[in-house]
Amino acid sequence: MTHKRDKRLLAVDGGGTKTLLWVGDGEGRILAKIQGESTNLKSRPWSDVAGELARLVLEGLESSGSTAEQVDAAVLGLAGSDRLEDKSRVVAHMSSMLPESVISVHNDAITALAAGTFGEQGMVLISGTGSICCGFDPAAGTYVRAGGWGYVFGDEGSGFALGAAALRAVVRAFDGRAAGTSLTDKVLAKLELSKPEQLVTAIYEAPYMRAKVASLAPAVFEAAREGDGQGRAIVKEAVRELAELVAAAYARFSPERRRMPLVLSGGVFSDALFLKEFSNRSDIQSLPLDIRVLNVPPVTGSYYMAVRQAGLRLTSDMIRRIQLQCKTEGECNHDTFS
Amino acid sequence: MTHKRDKRLLAVDGGGTKTLLWVGDGEGRILAKIQGESTNLKSRPWSDVAGELARLVLEGLESSGSTAEQVDAAVLGLAGSDRLEDKSRVVAHMSSMLPESVISVHNDAITALAAGTFGEQGMVLISGTGSICCGFDPAAGTYVRAGGWGYVFGDEGSGFALGAAALRAVVRAFDGRAAGTSLTDKVLAKLELSKPEQLVTAIYEAPYMRAKVASLAPAVFEAAREGDGQGRAIVKEAVRELAELVAAAYARFSPERRRMPLVLSGGVFSDALFLKEFSNRSDIQSLPLDIRVLNVPPVTGSYYMAVRQAGLRLTSDMIRRIQLQCKTEGECNHDTFS
């Protein structure tokens, strides 16, 4: 039997703007951390995603001094990977590179959940460019979720939602449909524009439109902090929407649910005022949840799942070791919209 | 001097899904009607738009038995043509094909306005896939507008807005965030899906996402007619937003404004209930506006403008002749979202 030190685990967190791949051993030592481009299956052609994954795997193996045959388990959390056929395609591709490995693919919310709850009962609320609330219910052995429907008919309370609301406030004031707001100057400054008419080209022709819109979230936080009425209303509405996602996901747990963690992840919660407004809501406080902000990158969850998938036990020592490695390398902070 | 019958006028209405080109004479006889693909400058590469325009012009000249030199004036109403540099590019391209012609390019809302008001004082409210309210103020010699900011931070009360609200209602009910609604069955049936989970792929991977979302507007109308609470709320909100656009544009006219027409255009107004709810609103009724539904295709407005641009007088005879030609050919109906 191979020693745990010689086992290799592969963890991937693939989002809409970047992808992280970790290669570690069976004792929780991270041997290589590689960063690549987006592997979102819904926003890039499969050939691009497949090429990027292959590059990351080869680089990760080389950088960690590992062979493909050493890899016992690989867990990928990928944005836009909800369909079975998408997952199968990724598994087949990865299997061709890692012949000895058990491979699994999850929506990136599932792996982010594992990063904060280690596979125990609990929930994660993600508000980054998009938003989703996701929970694991061990009693039923199932995942529950609310939200995560994308920017056209979902992503409530996300960076995108905050940014789009800011843009609406600006153009409504410009048209004379609403009162003036300090968001106008803040949004134009952020986008380096001189007048609202330029917003159409700046937003719709941006190569990453959703990220561009989400980058306006800090302007909303700033306006709200300074007392701007519309900025405050936008924050309040986003907080309300996120609380609604949590309540809906919580209601889906089986009746024997106990007190559980609610892990907050994503750039929106890096704003202290927003975090406070959310945590202080009475409908959030009335639920038996221990709120905590995720202090490791979401790829950690893929790693935890890979440990279990390799038939190893996820020990508290291992968790502490991984958390420490993140802390040392300054990876504990949220992504920000800058 | 050339006889009016030998003069040629060229009119274009270029939208997000299709483009119409008319070639007519100086007395209002339409000699050729050619249909092509989208010439929206914001959603297609310039080389495609330029190629499509060239094809339409050549085909229109050939089909009407005209020479390029006969064309005295060409007016193009193009979606996404607000920037001066975009307009200049189109004018230069058209000039290379029509050396003797005066050429002008406008946002397609301006030409739709002319279709209903013939260049007199008045307003047009367009609610198709997108929405905008646009007016011409002869006292100031200027155009006024409200809305038209696109689907991310504008297009209130449009087919897209109605469809997106329907999708939100469906997924909120699915998540347990809102009450059930008959929109669920109607939306799934329209998209030929069996469950809400399939919506993400069906919408975000659609080649024309905005048109796909707008195609759900009739489902909202149907639900509202049948008394569905959420369907009714969505209609009510859309009507309120459109009324707000009208009020904002109206307020921008110079103080000496008189009673004027408000022309309604676009597929959303093809729903009788929606049209009635809009027309009956007290804030709409309190304005000195004569509401009428546009009964000619918007390309007619480009034609009217071309007549004037050629130095001819737009007579009521000419208007009647053009309207009659539309009626005969069944073009008086709105586009619908089918």
Q: What is the predicted pLDDT for the residue at B40?
A: 83
Model confidence at A202, pLDDT cuts 50, 70, 90, reads: very high
Structure tokens at A182: 């300090």
Decide if B237 touches A, using CB distance below 8 A.
Answer: no
Decide if A42 touches B, using CB distance below 8 A.
Answer: yes
**Beta carbons of A149 and B252 less than 8 Å apart:** no
Residue B140 has pLDDT above 90, yes or no: no
Q: What is the predicted pLDDT for the residue at A198?
A: 92
Report, in angstroms and rounded to the nearest whole number, the Rg of chain B calculated over CA atoms: 21
Work out the average pLDDT over A149-170: 96
Task: Lay out the sheet containing A30-37: strands in order across.
Answer: A30-37, A18-25, A8-14, A71-78, A102-107
Residue A157 has pLDDT above 70, yes or no: yes
Work out the average pLDDT over A9-25: 91
Q: What is the predicted pLDDT for the residue at A30?
A: 93
Q: What is the predicted pLDDT for the residue at B147?
A: 95
Cβ contacts (< 8 Å) between A171 and chain B: which residues?
149, 153-154
Task: Lay out the sheet containing A122-127: strands in order across.
Answer: A142-147, A131-137, A122-127, A260-265, A289-293
For the domain made up of B4-118+296-328, give the CATH fold: Nucleotidyltransferase; domain 5 (3.30.420)
User: In a 3-state reduction of DSSP, which class is residue B338?
Assistant: coil
Residue A283 CB neighbours (<10 A): 11
Decide if B135 touches A, using CB distance below 8 A.
Answer: no
User: In a 3-state reduction of DSSP, which class is residue B122?
Assistant: strand
Question: CA of A156: which chain B residue's CA is closest?
Answer: B168
SS (H, E, C) A252-265: CCCCCCCCEEEEEE
**Could you say which of A42, A201, A248 has the minimum Cβ distance to residue B83?**
A201
Q: Does domain A122-152+238-293 have CATH number 3.30.420.40?
A: yes
Share of chain A above pLDDT 90, in %: 72
**Which is nearest to B337 in space by CA: B16, B57, B4?**
B16
Same fold: A4-116+296-328 with A122-152+238-293: yes
**Mean pLDDT, all residues of chain A:** 91
Residue B86 has pLDDT above 70, yes or no: yes
How far CA A247 is from CA of A128, A144, A159, A250, A272, in Å, comes to: 19, 12, 20, 5, 22
Q: Give the Cα separation of A289 and A123 in Å (integer).
A: 9
Structure tokens at B160: 């897209």
Q: What is the predicted pLDDT for the residue at A1?
A: 58
Residue B338 has pLDDT above 50, yes or no: no
Cβ contacts (< 8 Å) between B129 and chain A: which residues?
none
Model confidence at B114, pLDDT cuts 50, 70, 90, reads: very high
Q: What is the predicted pLDDT for the residue at B329?
A: 65
pLDDT tens-digit map of B210-242 = 989 999 999 999 999 999 999 999 999 999 999
Q: What is the predicted pLDDT for the residue at A338?
A: 35
Work out the average pLDDT over A15-28: 88
Cβ contacts (< 8 Å) between A177 and chain B: which residues?
146, 244-245, 247-248
Residue A328 has pLDDT above 90, yes or no: no
**Beta carbons of B153 and A199 less than 8 Å apart:** yes
- Higher-confidence residue of B222 and B18: namely B222
Q: What is the predicted pLDDT for the residue at A336?
A: 46
Work out the average pLDDT over B193-216: 92
pLDDT tens-digit map of A92-110 = 999 999 999 999 999 889 9
Decide if A199 touches B, using CB distance below 8 A.
Answer: yes
Question: CA of A244: which chain B residue's CA is closest?
Answer: B177
Question: CA of A166: which chain B residue's CA is closest?
Answer: B153
pLDDT tens-digit map of A82-95 = 788 889 999 999 99
pLDDT tens-digit map of A233-283 = 999 999 999 999 999 999 999 888 789 999 999 999 999 999 999 999 999
- Higher-confidence residue of B325 and B29: namely B29
**Beta carbons of A203 and B175 less than 8 Å apart:** no
**Could you say which of B152, B197, B251 has the minimum Cβ distance to residue A203?**
B152
Residue B244 has pLDDT above 80, yes or no: yes
Q: What is the predicted pLDDT for the residue at A334?
A: 47
**Could you say which of B145, B153, B164 has the minimum Cβ distance to residue A153?**
B164
Q: What is the predicted pLDDT for the residue at A218?
A: 97
pLDDT tens-digit map of B93-109 = 999 999 999 999 998 89
- Among B44, B123, B175, B246, the strongest candidate for a mutation testing the A interface, having the largest count of A CBs within 10 A, is B175
Q: Give the Cα separation of A260 and A287 in Å (integer).
A: 10
Q: What is the predicted pLDDT for the residue at A293?
A: 93
**Could you say which of A176, A200, A205 has the minimum Cβ distance to residue B251?**
A176
Decide if B251 touches A, using CB distance below 8 A.
Answer: yes
**Beta carbons of A209 and B152 less than 8 Å apart:** yes
**Beta carbons of B171 and A150 less than 8 Å apart:** no
Give the helix/strand (H/E) hosting B55.
helix B46-64
**Beta carbons of B153 and A168 less than 8 Å apart:** yes
Structure tokens at B178: 């809102």
Share of chain B above pLDDT 70, in %: 96
Residue A320 has pLDDT above 60, yes or no: yes
Residue A219 has pLDDT above 90, yes or no: yes
pLDDT tens-digit map of B49-81 = 999 999 999 999 999 999 999 999 999 999 878
Question: CA of B206: which chain A residue's CA is closest?
Answer: A42
Cβ contacts (< 8 Å) between A248 and chain B: which residues?
175-177
Q: Give the Cα separation of B124 and B113 in Å (integer).
A: 5
pLDDT tens-digit map of A30-66 = 999 999 988 887 777 889 999 999 999 999 999 999 9
Q: What is the predicted pLDDT for the residue at B331?
A: 61
Decide if A78 touches B, using CB distance below 8 A.
Answer: no
Decide if B42 touches A, using CB distance below 8 A.
Answer: yes
Structure tokens at A160: 């995108």
Cβ contacts (< 8 Å) between B199 and chain A: which residues?
149, 153
For the domain made up of A4-116+296-328, give the CATH fold: Nucleotidyltransferase; domain 5 (3.30.420)
Q: What is the predicted pLDDT for the residue at A329?
A: 65
Task: Give phi and psi for B248, each to the nearest 5.
Answer: -65, -45
Query: Structural domain boundaries of chain A?
Result: 4-116+296-328, 122-152+238-293, 159-223
Work out the average pLDDT over A324-338: 60
Residues 6+ apart with CB under 8 A from A295: A323, A326, A327, A332
Cβ contacts (< 8 Å) between A145 and chain B: which residues?
175
- Among B152, B168, B210, the strongest candidate for a mutation testing the A interface, having the largest count of A CBs within 10 A, is B152
ipTM over 0.90? The verdict is: no
Give the helix/strand (H/E) hosting A36.
strand A30-37
Q: What is the predicted pLDDT for the residue at A139?
A: 81
CA atoms within 13 A on the CB side of A275: 18
**Beta carbons of A199 and B252 less than 8 Å apart:** no
- Among A86, A177, A187, A212, the strongest candidate for a mutation testing the B interface, having the largest count of B CBs within 10 A, is A177
- Among A143, A160, A172, A175, the strongest candidate for a mutation testing the B interface, having the largest count of B CBs within 10 A, is A175
Beta-carbon contacts below 8 Å between A and B: 88
Q: What is the predicted pLDDT for the residue at B42?
A: 75
Work out the average pLDDT over B322-331: 75
User: In a 3-state reduction of DSSP, which class is residue A207?
Assistant: coil
**Could you say which of B83, B153, B251 has the minimum Cβ distance to residue A171?**
B153
Q: What is the predicted pLDDT for the residue at B191?
A: 97
Q: What is the predicted pLDDT for the residue at A257?
A: 78
Q: What is the predicted pLDDT for the residue at A330?
A: 59
Residue in the structure block whose two tokens are 């103080």 = B255
